[in-house]
Amino acid sequence: MTLLIEAPAYILHYVYFCNDNILRIHRHNTQDVEIVMLPLWNTENVIEIPLAFEVFGQFIELRLRRNTKIIAPKFQVWTHNEGNILQELPHLNEPTPCHYLHIDSISSAAISLCQEHGIHGLIFLENSTLEITPMGDLNPLSLDYHFIRERSEASLKDREPHIVKRAYATPITQDYYIRKNLQYEYNLNISRTNPVLEKIGRRQINEDLTIELAIFFDEAGYNIFAPFFDKDDEKIRDMLLAYINGVQALYHQSSLGKQIDISLVRMDIMHKQPSDLPNFGGERGSLLDSFCNYAKLYNPSDDKHPNHWDLGLYVSGLDFYAIEDGIKNTATMGLATVGGTCIDQYSCVIAELGVTNRFGKPYPSAGFTSVYIAAHEIGHNLGMHHDSTGNSCPRDGYIMSPSRGVQGETIWSECSREVVRTLARNKPCLLDKSTLEDKSLNHRRFLDLPGREWNAKKQCEILLRDKDATVATLHQACQALQCKSPHRSGYYFAGPALDGTDCASGRECRAGECLPAFQIVPGPGGPFIREGSWSDWKVGPCRSGCLQKSKGARQRNRSCNNPLAINTEAGCEGLHYDVQLCKDDRLCKKKRKTITEFAAIRCIEFSEVLSELDREGRGLQAIHESDRPWIACAIFCRRKDIMSYYTPRIELNDLGLDPYFPDGTWCHEEGGQNYFCRQHHCLPEDFQFAKKFLSDHKDEIELELGLQNARPNESKPSDRLIKYFSLGLDGLPLLTSLPANFNLPLGDDEWIDKDYIDLTKA
């Protein structure tokens, strides 16, 4: 909680975050938990709300007044529609009248009533802080009796159970830091504030730094994500807000030495690229110049104008490139002018998001690792150079490293801190603040912990744009989240998980570390834990390739949301995705194709993408191998360059061209039992999937295909890997095993790039 004073009006700004983030006191915080029943409110047209309840033997009485100032005034969301028309989306600009404040001589509070089923917020008392969160789906009557305050049955009507956590703090004169996140204003005479707040409030407001940011999401990015989000602009907006809040979390890190706030003042979602913003196919230098000219044209020049922004961020779905010594270099993922902030022509940066190579394999910028790319480019624009470039900081290990791969480098270096120390003097445009308003487009609602809402599975879904994508393992997720999909082979790194992502029971990622979650507190009964439970299976229709001796197959999936888990990873054991065999007689009334005929048709399609395949479309099915159960389900095509048949599992793994026979294809017979392809494996007809099967085949997944992220400049499979995925003309394998250390992840040095322009050369 912090007090900020703007003379002469004496406006008190106070902030809330999760308890541990408001004050961090040296090893003296203790917390308790209690569950109380609180009323639900319809806040429409309600300016003032009374709220009273008893908790921890203390009567709490609040008089809440609506807060209308949270983010920048006249916050706007725009879209570029057909015909190059720039259209504002006013329904996304409407304020959500659900944030409330209270202050008196006893307590102060910041409360959100935005959620349909509960209250969120903090109450600050003289020696403790209360955090309120709704319990959600849990039936309060199923809890142990000692956790619930006794109420009459009638009093439970129109009330919902809420978790109230109490944190005690030692005197504020001890070492502390203040994390500013959601800022709330309350007009009152400074003499009415409590002494603790007044003491903090004597800090000079003009020392605080705020980047007023405008984000422009281009047509290429829209085309990438619109199908995944069902062309719903609100869902795209929510992703971008989480993205910006991820950047905000990095600029609130203690490793930066001083927090820098990000106030979002404009968001453009471009269904169509504006005619005055050419993208030059992703050539980064020309694109940056184009965007800087565009931003200068539309940015109000007066820094006091409510719609003025200090820095423009162009988020693009284009694969940026640079021509260096006559060679096209695609390792670049962003570009900025060093020190360009506060200079109209140069206060602009570009960053990739959602980008893959031509085979559909994700670059580091494909998912939320782009948060680090954007933060890195903004760092350049603030005046930061690469670590080790003209300074004594080590090259690797920090956000301003010259390389940006998918592992680690989650904190700031001393050289970055040194630049921030001088910003108040060198970048005066960062010293002014907008008058904040409560509007729906507020990235700060993620509280610098966007991973709580955009959890590990959702981050994997964004990386692969695949709603069946899931987490392969949470091991080292805060440094490199590992993802997989039932529709692809191998695994993928999504980069460091977003702050707030669960990384172990009761722990979450923050600044690249797996730390105790802010909301997990020791109480009389320990932290509140609720195991998750599966939803019902959603079963799809029976589908079939109508091949000889084969069957149909249907997919089914379920979600761990009935209810969602709280403070634990336990509760949803087993698979979320499955494939079952089904009868296809009603689907296959015409003559069934032979497996070889089907392979030939598919090989012709593959040859249009891979020039090394024979365009005559000769293909075959391999003989089943128990050590490689995938091999009889993979389609092998005749190559032109060598005398062999080859399965393009790696090349087509991410293109949507399935290099396998359809699920249900006959693949083997043994002991009188037929085997059929399911999830790309040749398995007995009565086989039931289980976690044990996936665990037994973990080595196969990791060693055969391994990491499937894109590498710079599209390196091709090695000769050994080509042989491993090849059959001779006699149909027998050329190579049946790979060494244990084959295809391990490469270091991030391969992504080294000079992604900045010095201001003197701009």
Give the whole-angstrom CA distance, residue 639 versus residue 657.
18
β-pair type (348-352, 311-316): parallel
Q: What SS3 class is residue 757?
A: strand
Q: Does residue 94 have an active-site annotation?
A: no
Quick one: tokens of 590?
A: 């015409």
Quick one: tokens of 598?
A: 């089907």
Q: What SS3 class is residue 177?
A: coil
Give the whole-angstrom CA distance, residue 368 versus residue 422.
29
Give the whole-angstrom CA distance, residue 97 versus residue 438.
7
β-pair type (756-758, 334-338): parallel
| Angle, CA of 36, 117 and 146, to the nearest 5° | 20
Q: What SS3 class is residue 65?
A: strand
Give the whole-angstrom CA distance, residue 587 versus residue 421.
70
Residue 376 annotated as part of some ligand binding site: yes
Question: Which helix H or strand E contains 298, and what residues bound it?
Answer: helix 284-298
Do 367 and 457 meet the contact criterion of CB atoms below 8 Å apart? Answer: no
Give the whole-angstrom CA distance, residue 106 versus residue 628.
70
Catalytic entry in 160, 185, 219, 377: 377
Q: Distances from the Cα of 140 to the Cαs of 150, 533, 547, in angstroms?
A: 11, 17, 55
Q: Which region, left, alpha or beta, applies to residue 713 given φ > 0 means left and ψ of -120 to 50 means alpha?
A: left
Which residue, 165, 151, 155, is CA-closest to 120?
Answer: 165
Give the whole-angstrom CA distance, residue 177 versus residue 2.
10
496-531 burial by CB neighbour count: b if 16+ within 10 A, else e? bbbbbbbbbebbbbbbbebbebbbbbebeeebbebb
Cis before 428 (ω within 30): no
Sequence-ordered strand ranges (E) for 94-248: 99-103, 108-112, 120-124, 128-134, 159-168, 182-187, 209-217
Give the whole-angstrom CA distance, residue 318 versus residue 409.
24
Q: Distances from the Cα of 606 to the Cαs of 556, 635, 650, in angstroms?
A: 28, 10, 12
Do 500 and 452 meet the contact criterion of CB atoms below 8 Å apart? Answer: yes
Question: Which helix H or strand E contains 235, and what residues bound it?
Answer: helix 233-251
Q: What residues does 658 pair with on adjacent strands?
A: none
Give the whole-angstrom CA distance, residue 330 versus residue 715.
12
Amino acid at the residue 414: E
Sequence-distant (≥ 6) Cβ neighbours of residue 65 within 8 angstroms:
47, 48, 100, 101, 102
Which residues are tagged catalytic? 377
List the binding residues for Zn(2+): 376, 380, 386
